[in-house]
Amino acid sequence: MKRILIIASWKMLHVRRFAENLGKVKGDGLQIDLLENSCSIENVECNTFNNVYSIKISRIQSVLLKIPRIRVWFANNKTCDRLYELLSEKKYDLVVMMVVHNYAPFIVTTCNKFTTKVLLFPFGSEVIRISESKKRKLKPAFLYADFVATKENSSFSQYLINTYGIDKKKFVSYGVGSETISAIIKNKGKFSREQMSKVLGIPFSRYNICCGYNAQKSQRHEEMLCALYKNKNILPNGYQVIIPLSYGDSKKELIDRLGKQAKEYNLSIVFVTNYLSVDELSYLRLITDLFIHVQTTDAANASIQEFILAGARCINGQWLSYPYLETEGLPYYQCPEINELPSVIREAILNRDSDFAVPHGAISEIEHNSYENVINNWKDFFYNV
């Protein structure tokens, strides 16, 4: 039997979905344990895990942990201590760190000490949107880890190579998989636009423009609205701009600021602020005619793949290129620089009724990233590690 220890926060939706889907296929040959690395989860209910180890907090500590900086420091140190204890007591074949925190070098060093293989699973911003000094401190973790989970032949994998000196032979090119891709395949052609709009609780429109996919400032919502305003005279009759703000640190601030901006520009806008189920996410993709994706940085983004598969025309920042989707031609309009977004939007809207054939290779690659395919790949990897 292979024994795998996952270090992650159960608060993260991607972690929960990954674990729950893994539990459906893991069989009897895998023991999967979780080391919960936050201070806010007491009970993890998931049949995937054979054992769950969480950080124990005393009453006195719980008072101090209301201070964010202390809570982070405490969680990091306790996670490191608990890992050392677990590796001293048990034999694991692989330790998986989902989200590469600043204490990753200690995790890798500890695993090496106990001759336990380690896989780092960066999600994106935690290794991109940090200072140069923090990147230097993180570099040894990537250099001495056995595996790094990232989509090969992507702007993110190239970033990891350039910034952290990773040997691409370490890449495990699976990601977490997308349940939304699976739902799009299932729901495409099954419901009318009116039906899906009603379920989402948004007005029916014959032309939906979706700007970004979360409530992070890095999505560049203001620049997108400004670019749409500059094309207001050619926006189709009955259009509406959809801004998904279901999750992200800046939800309240963005609703207020973007609402004022839309009013100033006299743009028809609707916010999606509630959390969406997987089916609802697929409906949002399926009713979208134009998706604009120009965030500052990105890992192997699933959202743009989902919109492409759903049939939306997409605008993608050239700095966010996905070579694995471009082998047979571009499946989206490219925006070379953010200041060129108005002209790219103009091109996409003026050509909205013309044929735009997405290369078959891109569709095949996207369908391959459904969670069913990806989770089976992970199962096989864990069995053979």
* DSSP assignments along 20-43, one per residue: HHHHHH-TTSEEEEEEE-SSS---
| Residues 82 and 60 sit within 8 Å (Cβ to Cβ) | no
Token code pair at residue 116:
């336990």
Give 60's pLDDT tier (boundaries 50, 70, 90): low
What does the alpha-carbon distance between residue 42 and residue 147 come to, in Å, rounded to a whole number?
A: 30
Nearest CA to 197 out of 288, 268, 275, 259 is that of 288
Q: What pLDDT, on a 0 to 100 scale, did the predictor assign at position 14?
A: 84
Does the structure show a pLDDT above 60 at 63? no
CB neighbour list of residue 366: distance below 8 Å, 6 or more residues apart: 181, 305, 306, 308, 309, 325
How far is it, in rounded angstroms, from Cα 272 to Cα 268? Answer: 14
Q: How confident is the model at residue 136 (pLDDT cuts 50, 70, 90)?
A: very high
pLDDT at residue 42 in the model: 60
The closest alpha carbon to 293, from 332, 245, 239, belongs to 332
Nearest to 229 by CA among 350, 151, 345, 119: 345
**Mean pLDDT across the chain, nearest whole number?**
91
What domains does the chain contain, in order, with CATH numbers?
Answer: 2-177+371-384 (3.40.50.2000), 179-368 (3.40.50.2000)
Q: For 175, left (φ over 0), alpha (ψ -120 to 50), or beta?
A: left
Tell me which residue has tokens 């405490």: 74
The helix (H) or strand (E) run that includes residue 3 is strand 2-8
**pLDDT average, residue stretch 145-157:** 88
Instruction: Name the strands in the sheet holding 313-317, side by side, starting at the edge strand that comes first in the sequence.
Output: 269-272, 239-244, 207-211, 290-293, 313-317, 333-335
Give percent of the chain with pLDDT exceeding 90. 73
Q: What is the pLDDT of residue 93?
A: 97
pLDDT greater than 60 at residue 83: yes
More confident residue, 200 or 76: 200
Distance, in Å, from the CA atom of 181 to the CA atom of 371, rounded to the nearest integer, reads 8
